[in-house]
Structure formats: C-alpha cells, structure tokens
Amino acid sequence: MLVTEMKHGPRPTGQRRSNVISRSRHVVARAAVLAVLLAAVAAPSATAQVPRDFWGVLPISHPSPEEFQRMGRANVGTLRLLVKWPDVEPTPDGYDWSVLDYYVTYAAENGIELLPFLYGTPGWAGVNCAGLDPQTCERVPPLTGQARAAWTDFLQDFVTRYGPQGAFWSETSEPYLPVTKIQVWNEPSSQTYWRPTPKPKKYGALVKISDEAVAAVDPSVQIVLAGVFPSPELGKQTRFTKFLEALFDVKGIGLHFDIAAFHPYAPTVKRLKQQIKVVRKLMRKGGVGGKPLWITELGWGSAQPFENRPLIKGIEGQRMLLEQSFQLLEQSASKWNLAGVVWYSFRDPGFGFEGCPFCESAGLFDVAGNPKPAWFSFVQETGGSPD
C-alpha cells in the first residue's frame, strides 16, 4: 500500500558471493554486544510462541521520540521503514542520512529492529522515463546501464553505513542494533510502484542485482522480497498468482533471496488464511518452499464501514480482526514458516490516499495520537505495555 515516509540462518555455502570483509576490533566487540541485544530483542512474547521481532508496525507518518519509546514498551520488535532513494541521495553521492539516522537511533534505543524497504529511482540516475512525469518516473526500476550502477552503489553505501559492520555504529554510542535484512522495492506487481508495466522477470532481475550488490559488502545481510498483494474482492486473484508463479520461475531466483513477503489484504480472516495457503503452495511449486514468509503488511481501517470498501471495518471491527489474524498467524507460525507480521500502520496520517480508501484509518492510533481499541489488542498479543 501507499506510504509517504520512509533469524533465519544464512544460505548454504556457495549460494551467494562470499566476499567476506575482515572486521575491525571495534566491530568484533560490538558483535558480542549484538548477540546479547538480539537475545533480548528476540525474547518471547507473553504467549511464548514467537520472538519479539515477529511483531512489527509500519509508520506512515514520522514517529516522535515518545512514540518510539511507546513502541519499545509495547514490545514492537520490527519497524518496517520506507527508504526512498531519491530522498536519501538527491544528487549523485550527495547523501542526506539525517532522517535515516533518526530512525536508526531511536529504533536501537528502544530495542526495535529495522526492516528497510529500499525503493524509488532519482531522476539523475538515467532511467528511460519517456512520457512519464518526474514523480511517476521514480517508479521505473534501475535495471540497466548508469541506473543499475547507481542503484548498486546506493545499496552498498546503505549497508556500509547501517549494516553489521556499518560506520554508523562506530560513530555513535547508541545500542548496537544494525540492519541485518533489506527488502528490495515494494509491491512490484502494481503500477503504483513499478512502471511502465509490472514484469516479474524484471523484478527478478532487480533482486539479483540487489543481492549481488549487498553480498559484495556484507554477505550476512539477508534479502527480503517485496510483498505482493491480491485484490480484497472475490474472484480477482489471477494477477498476483501469475506474478508469483513467473517470479519463482526466474532462473536461479532462489539463490538470491532469503525471505519471501506477502501483503494479504483480505476482508476476513478466513480469506487471509486462504491467501497465505495459496502463496505457500506457489512457493513450493516454484522450488522455494523451504524459505520463510514474512507478512510485511496487514491491516484494516477503523473508519465507518460503507459499501464496496471491504477493508474498512469500523473501530471494533478493526480490533476484532487484528486479534483474530494475529492469533492465527502466531498459532500457524511454525506450520507456515512465518518470519513475522507488520501491521499497517502505526498512526493515522491525517490525509487521504488515492486508490487506498482504508489506508487513512488503518492506524493503531488516530491522527492526534490517541490509541484505538486495536492498539490494546496489539499489545495483548505482544505481551508489552500499552502506555
């Protein structure tokens, strides 16, 4: 869906380029600290079935330091974060890390792991934008020539700053909680994020490019596929299933990612269960059934329900569906090999979304920061404190 802000073991030997970089004494020392911190971050929730990082949220709007603290007390374990390339690197090598530094700092302070999804192409990168306005041009993926080289450089610079051996951790006294996973792009089966036309083989090419770039800097950083989503309406599942079938059919694709992702926007929990089963079946058919699956977006709106809006459920409907879906996902985590679930979103943005009517009321808090009933149900599942 549209946004405005930005444990599993490594692959078997030989499946990724193993250009291992020697660590400094400082990084080795921090690695020991990381082991302790990750043990704390992964502490079981109150139900003792899944680790803390299983539970995540996605912020549409910029969270305050106080909101980060509230997330920490609530046992939010993962923050899925948009990292928009044009905003971070508006000119070639002209990086502005300030916003990302903010997120990394406050997430680490509160024991929250980041799942960044890197997306967007700056105009200077040289993609073919014939007939597209500048904003739409950002959705054209960097697959060839100058754009491919620039994307590779951006990924490597990102990992060099925030990854396990990142310079950020040498420059700060913050708790050591580096980025260990990167999600490549967002919803590439939709024209909202992929122009001119979504093509699974081209997305597969972007995954391979991204994996090779990241592995050359730090092969321990895992690659997460972008989530795809089905239509919430009955009988309209063909596009997403065909996309996944073709993606998993890309030669060698299974060697270039660690975790698959899915955005199962379903009007009911029954449909949610059916959709996940479909994805798992497609993964097995495509030869990647042994990989984890991450639900990197899930949510319903709390606005007053109205006709032809299957994801808008009202205040109590949102709460009930969160409880039912979280219980299902937790109970099925082992059977479906789930890496976690990210609720969309943390707080209502206070503005509308073209093409996404439920998004403006999907938050666990309203636009003023007041908790909705769904927030208390969320915290009940994580075993944290709601205050």
- pLDDT tens, residue by residue, 318-371: 999 999 999 999 999 999 999 999 999 999 998 888 789 999 999 999 999 999
The verdict on residue 25 lying in a domain is no
Query: What percentage of the chain reaches a pLDDT higher than 70?
Result: 86
Angle of CA points 289, 293, 296, to nearest 5°: 155
The verdict on residue 251 lying in a domain is yes
CATH of the domain at 95: 3.20.20.80
The verdict on residue 69 lying in a domain is yes
Please compute the mean of the pLDDT values over residues 174-195 and round it to a whole number. 96
Please compute the mean of the pLDDT values over residues 119-132 and round it to a whole number. 94
The verdict on residue 215 lying in a domain is yes
- pLDDT tens, residue by residue, 5-37: 443 333 333 344 433 333 333 343 444 444 444
Domain count, the chain: 1
The verdict on residue 59 lying in a domain is yes
| Per-residue pLDDT, 118 | 98
The verdict on residue 16 lying in a domain is no
The alpha helices in the chain, defined as continuous H runs, are: 25-41, 65-73, 85-88, 98-109, 134-137, 145-162, 168-171, 200-217, 238-248, 269-285, 314-331, 373-382
d(CA 68, CA 225): 26
- pLDDT tens, residue by residue, 273-295: 999 999 999 999 999 999 999 99
- pLDDT tens, residue by residue, 28-65: 344 444 444 444 444 444 445 899 999 999 999 999 99
The verdict on residue 14 lying in a domain is no
The verdict on residue 30 lying in a domain is no
Phi, psi of 209 (to 5 degrees): -60, -45
Please compute the mean of the pLDDT values over residues 300-311 and round it to a whole number. 94
Residue 100's domain comprises 48-382
